[in-house]
A and B are shown apart, each in its own frame.
Chain A
Amino acid sequence: MSVAEQTPEVRVSQPKMPPKRNGRWAGYRHLLWARMLELKREPEVVFWVFVFPLLLAAGLGIAFREKPAGASPVAIVAGAGAQQAESLLENSPQHGSFKIEVQDDAAARKGFRLGKYDLVIKPNNAGGLTYLYDPARPESVLARSEVNDALQTAAGRKEVIVTSEVVSSEPGSRYIDFLIPGLLGMNLMNSGMWGVGFALVDMRQRKLLKRFVGTPMRRGDFLLALMSSRLVLMVIEIGLLLALGVVFFNMRVLGSLFTITLLGSVGALCFGGVGLLTASRAQKIESVSGLMNLVMMPMWIFSGVFFSYERFPAVAQPLIKALPLTALNDALRASILEGTPLLHLWPRLLVMASWGGISFLLALRWFRWT
């Protein structure tokens, strides 16, 4: 107390400038801005959110690019009749679509087992031929029917119905067209879950959340800013992937950009909500990582990212369709590939909105700030 009496100097904390007044949304604006700055300055985020999905799409797109059906590798088992079968095939009109090798029985079978040959042709004792093929391998089935056609035609079979062919290989039905909307959906899930969930637990662990609630900051604004930062990133994510598809793979985007962005927003918010719920109580990064993977794993597998979920048994279909990533992927594919208008996609939007909304409400109830 004596100190104050001895030094009656001017009050330093008297504002030298007129005090500024913060408006209702100042906190929200600064939170969002700070979040964007942090993301921009984190090289890992830039890589995982933007570069990795592009690499994945490019890699898979190149691996599964459409190529004219190549020559089918076919083995003929050496022995009586092998010579004749070979010359028939060589002289058939379709001879360009086979690559023929004559092998002994064991080598031919081994090659077939390893996928080196699609079909093994074995002359039998009756003067005919036996086909060894695998009905579960599409290329094997194809080779069998092509070879059979070629042999029969070369041996003099006449077609009884006159047919003609039109070649159709349009963008929209290729694997890359299927893949890119799936990757978009998966990326929105990954970055939504990590971007919200991981960030929250990290801030909780650093006691930053506790420090924030020690200020008059509105808690809703904080969560809103976190979600909004997801929307900004979502626009960039979608833009980059679609641009990759259009520029490098001649993808055709039929739906309007507005519809696609809106679907992306609903998806980003939905997974933001799920991420919020996953991270609502966890105190440590390690525990939230496990939880996140547990939540996302079923969707990576079942929601039709890399292959159609129609391949799973019919019993599982309603469950699969109830997953939020399935809804997002379906809606994105319908819009991008088929141009389905937004109004027809409402069941998908409802699924996502329910997941996001219910998660968000539960998260608010359970959320641990300190």
Chain B
Amino acid sequence: MLKAADSLYALIKDLDESMIKRFRQGFRDINEAFGEVFNQLFNGGHAELQLDDPENLLETGVKIIAQPPGKKAQLLSLLSGGERAFTAIALLFAFLKVKPSPFCVLDEIEAALDDANVERFVNYLRGLARQTQFIVISHRRGTMEAADRLYGITMEESGVSKLLTVEMDKLDHEIA
């Protein structure tokens, strides 16, 4: 029985080690991607993730430090609402970059952004769209303009949703 306990101890130690190794690798990848995505989305600036306790990789928390162009580096909680949302989007994109998903549904995540940021958001999204299929739900003009296909949901009859499809490419042809 004592032997069993010993082997369990060894197993836990093993797991801890591989967790630390993976976490370190994952953190480094995400941090790198996050910085890159942030820079592209904000058109400058700098952002990174910081560990609360770099000595204890098993338990440490993670904080987000962001520096939009022309401002000094600060914690996420000190940024303006739109910047906060955009930073969070940058982090989500960084996750997608590190761990690509074959398809992804985004439900009005860009609602808090201004028009210029929506444009950058959409441009970046189109770049990501090469490896991930995106289905975006949106109210923003900028996003709609960039769409290849628009799906309109209406409620002509109360309580019942209907679907309309508009294909932008075809529309372009027709207009031409």
Do A and B form a real pair? no
- Interface residue ranges, A against B (CB under 8 Å): none
Interface residues of B (CB under 8 A from A): none
